[in-house]
Amino acid sequence: MNPDPQSNVKYSGLSGNEMYCIAMLGYSPGNIIIGNSVFAMGFVRGLGSNIRTMVGGEVSQITNMINEGRKLSLQRFNDEITQGNCSGASGVTSELIMHPGNIEFLTVGSGMHRNDNAGGSFTTSADGQELFCQWDAGYQPINFVFGNVAYSIGVGKGLMGGLRQLAKGEVKQYSDIFNKTRGLALDRIIDEARAVNANSVVGIRTTILPVTTSEIHEMAMVGTASYNEQIANVASVVGGVTTSDMTAEETWNMAKLGYAPLKLVLGTSVYSLGLLGGITAGFKNLVKGEISELTNMIYGAREQSIAKLKEQAEEIGADDVLGIKTYIYDIGSGLIEFLAIGTAVKKVDGLSTRSEQIPPQAIIRDKDTFINSTLFSIASDLQNPQR
């Protein structure tokens, strides 16, 4: 539970820089806020998910369980906001913590009080510094939102793609599965934004982590559903809600240059080196030098993933795709996934920021003032028993 909401002493997770930034927006710090829910995986759901993984794609039983757990945790978090008479909460996170046989869904954030008691309450994934940058770029926060999908390649799809693995190149069956499932997480965060009458989701953070077994993973996207009057016309091009994984500072800088985010774009390609290529590369590992088969495959896979981003951006009339990042995942059986992700943007007439410059306090990075060196000390003692 939170400390006494009537107490004059506040227990906040906000840093000094964040406090400065929210003060510029007319807020003062409240107490740290926590909501949680603990679920048992359960034999029935576990059995159901095992059957589903034989087919591949989304494991709806796990998706729904995680969704329910996150929502219960967030509901209790919102209840504490009301109990603490807060005007909102910043830096909201939604975590999964694995306990033996159980999963804890944990929501944490820092409460805030509006100094003039005007306006409604909001929740945002942005910390105090990010909140200032987004607000100054015209994005009024409404709600912390998330979208998730639990997925598996599946034994069934593995059998379908088995013959393809004998030849090097893209395994389209797998690529299709991953593109579809990753798209579901984005669709769901957009649906949550629409439900609160937002026209944008900013500051999206994407995480992938194993759930229940190494065969099942969850992709989760969290961000802030916001409303920006300046991009209303642009939002209509993408179904009423724009999405972006640009940082808050990038969002401000792009708004200053007159660019608005349109859509978070993702491209996935699953590649196999192939039986013959694998044998050839294996021999080359015995001697020094470039493994041309791997070089060419990885280069081609990255190009294919980025080409999918380009295709999505062209469909919505974007001018550029910014902040492209690429990731490689070993998904077993000689297969590697290449994921490219970025934000498609478009130049908008009349778009600008409220301020001419971002204040230094909004971009200064906080330094760690607590460093746990216990593990290093233990290792040193083991190596030097006489000390």
What the block records as the tokens of 42 is 């359960």
pLDDT in tens, the chain (387 residues): 556 555 678 899 999 999 999 999 999 999 999 999 998 876 435 544 554 555 567 888 888 888 999 999 999 999 999 999 999 999 999 999 888 878 899 999 999 999 887 767 899 999 999 999 999 999 999 999 999 998 876 644 454 445 444 456 788 877 888 888 889 999 999 999 999 999 999 999 999 888 866 678 889 999 999 999 999 999 999 999 999 999 999 999 999 999 999 999 999 888 876 644 454 455 455 556 676 777 777 788 888 899 999 999 999 999 999 999 998 887 766 778 889 999 999 999 999 999 999 999 999 988 888 887 775 555 555 555 554
Domain coordinates in residue numbering, the chain: 16-350
* Listed residue (362, 370, 359) closest to 16, CA to CA: 362
Identity of the residue numbered 38: V
d(CA 262, CA 279) in angstroms, rounded, equals 45
What the block records as the tokens of 363 is 């971009």
Q: Where are the beta strands (DSSP E) in the chain?
A: 27-40, 57-58, 88-99, 102-114, 122-123, 140-152, 169-170, 200-211, 213-227, 242-243, 259-272, 320-332, 335-347
d(CA 168, CA 57) in angstroms, rounded, equals 23
Model's pTM, two decimal places? 0.86
Entry field: residues in the chain:
387
Instruction: Report yes or no: 216 and 209 within 8 Å, Cβ to Cβ.
Output: no
